[in-house]
């Protein structure tokens, strides 16, 4: 899990400095992507350390230098697309690794044009970025109503996390062409657009975010019974928008909120049920349907009940809970 307050100030900084590209040779002949082929800026990347290597997600996070600047490179193996399968099987070479009776294991080496690696470059990178992607211990915190008032809320207010990038989306100053659907109502409205983690190549990895127009709701903790029309509107129209645009029905969607959220402006996640999306695990995700039912049963449910969530060891909020004796010392 990234810092519980990620994509606030540091993520706005990241969005301004990161560059996404497809690793490819310098000629159009071998390019498998739709965009223009870029010069291989990674040829001169000097590796300092591997911050994290996720075999499950087929992703590696590397810290180093690029053109004498601190940089982080994220390499992610792209999913195998159904449209590329025939060419992959025909044009690849096989190296036999093991054979035992009916079982054989091979290394399949596909042609370069269908062997993409999604590469994200953050340059210049700060120590915040390094800490964000570095492998660390994770702890579960049980936050009571009093903990929220005395620890979490003062911390949020003291940090002044910027969500200007959110306002840019809501005001159509940025990413307007990516909006899937919108309800402009100031009380119950929202915009729905693809999450930056989804490359929109496969519906199995579908991931969209609904961002509310209201600016007075920071997180799950602020929700009351009066917000039920807003939540029901997001669920209904969000599902309808996804069905219309991507032909994915509501029964194949996971719709949830995070606590702690990535940024403190209320937003709802829509992911494909087949996608094991980051942050969809039980210790952080709260199904929107459950949130609505809980608020109908108790208007102050999320104000008063203890909420459990994970924090990384170096998270500044974790430090506050550690000072209060709610977390063990590292």
- Whether residue 87 lies inside any domain: the answer is yes
Residues 158 and 295 in one domain: yes
The SS3 call for residue 256 is: strand
What is the mean pLDDT for each group of 10 consecutive residues in the chain (330 residues)?
Answer: 38 43 40 63 93 85 93 88 86 93 92 86 87 84 96 89 91 95 97 91 92 97 98 98 97 97 95 91 96 98 96 88 82
At residue 35, the pLDDT reads 60
Tokens (6 digits) for 146:
């009093």
Is 64 inside a domain boundary? Answer: yes
Instruction: Please tell me the distance from the alpha carbon of residue 130 to that of residue 155, in angstroms, as a whole number.
Output: 22
How high is the pLDDT of residue 13? Answer: 44
Domain assignment present for residue 329? The answer is: no
Q: Using CA atoms, how far apart are residues 190 and 174, in angstroms rounded to an integer?
A: 15
Which domain does 102 fall in, by range? 80-115
The pLDDT value given to residue 8: 40
Number of domains in the chain: 3
d(CA 43, CA 37): 15
pLDDT at residue 186, as a whole number: 96
Place of tokens 């810092």: 3
Compute CA 261 distance to the chain's CA centroid, rounded to the nearest angstrom: 11
Q: What is the pLDDT of residue 83?
A: 82
Domain co-membership, 45 together with 129: yes
Asked if 213 is an active-site residue, the reply is no
- The reported pLDDT for the residue numbered 201 is 80
Same domain, 164 and 271: yes
* Binding site, annotated residues for substrate: 165, 175, 195, 197, 258-269
Provide DSSP, 272-300.
ETT---TT-STTTEEEHHHHHHHHHH-TT
Show the DSSP H helices in 106-224 as ranges. 127-133, 145-147, 153-159, 164-170
Contact 5, 161 (CB under 8 A): yes
Query: Does residue 286 sit in the same domain as residue 155?
Result: yes
Q: What is the H or E stretch that residue 220 is in?
A: none
52, 160: one domain: no
Query: Is 328 domain-assigned?
Result: no
Catalytic-labelled residue, pool 63, 129, 227, 267: 267
* Residues 233 and 90 placed together within one structural domain of the fold: no
User: Same domain, yes or no, for 43 and 164?
Assistant: no
> Residues 131, 222: one domain?
no
* Same domain membership, residue 203 and residue 107: no
CATH number of the domain bearing residue 53? 3.30.200
Give dist(CA 99, CA 173) in Å, integer.
58
Same domain? 35 vs 149: no
Q: How confident is the model at residue 36, as a pLDDT?
A: 65
The answer to whether position 183 is within a domain reads: yes
In a domain? residue 106 = yes
Single pTM value for the model: 0.70
273 in any annotated domain? yes
Task: Indicate the annotated binding residues.
Answer: 165, 175, 195, 197, 258-269
Listing DSSP states for 28-46 in one string gives GGG--SSSPPPP-GGGG-E
| 190 inside domain | yes
Instruction: For residues 105 and 177, state if they share a domain.
Output: no
Using DSSP's 3-state secondary structure scheme, residue 266 falls into coil
The CATH number given to whatever domain includes residue 157 is 3.30.428.10
Does residue 230 contact residue 259 with C-beta atoms inside 8 Å?
Answer: no
> Do residue 189 and residue 102 come from a single domain?
no
Distance CA 218, CA 261 (A): 9
């Amino acid at each position: 899990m990234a810092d519980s307050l990620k994509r606030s100030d540091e993520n706005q900084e990241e969005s301004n400095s990161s560059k996404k590209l497809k690793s490819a040779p310098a000629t159009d002949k071998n390019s498998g992507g739709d965009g223009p082929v870029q010069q291989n800026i990674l040829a001169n990347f000097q590796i300092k350390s591997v911050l994290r290597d996720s075999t499950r997600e087929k992703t590696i996070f590397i810290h180093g230098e690029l053109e004498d600047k601190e940089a982080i490179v994220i390499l992610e193996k792209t999913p195998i697309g159904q449209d590329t399968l025939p060419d992959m099987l025909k044009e690849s070479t096989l190296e036999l690794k093991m054979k035992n009776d009916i079982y054989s294991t091979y290394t399949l080496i596909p042609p370069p044009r269908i062997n993409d690696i999604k590469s994200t470059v953050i340059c210049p990178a700060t120590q915040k970025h390094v800490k964000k992607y570095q492998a660390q211990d994770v702890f579960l915190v049980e936050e009571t109503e009093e903990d929220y008032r005395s620890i979490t809320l003062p911390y949020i207010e003291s940090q002044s996390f910027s969500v200007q990038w959110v306002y840019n989306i809501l005001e159509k100053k940025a990413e307007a062409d990516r909006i899937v659907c919108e309800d402009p109502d100031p009380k119950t409205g929202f915009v729905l657009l693809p999450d930056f983690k989804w490359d929109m190549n496969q519906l199995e990895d579908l991931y969209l975010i609904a961002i509310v127009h209201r600016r007075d709701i920071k997180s799950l903790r602020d929700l009351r019974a009066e917000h039920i029309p807003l939540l029901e509107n997001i669920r209904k129209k969000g599902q309808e928008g996804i069905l219309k645009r991507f032909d994915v029905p509501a029964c194949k969607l996971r719709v949830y909120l995070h606590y702690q959220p990535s940024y403190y402006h209320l937003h709802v996640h829509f992911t494909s049920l087949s996608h094991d999306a980051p942050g969809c695990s039980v210790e952080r995700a709260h199904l929107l349907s459950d949130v609505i039912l809980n608020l109908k049963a108790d208007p102050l449910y999320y104000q008063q009940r203890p909420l459990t969530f994970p924090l990384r060891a170096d998270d500044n909020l974790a430090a506050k809970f550690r000072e209060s004796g709610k977390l063990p010392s590292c």
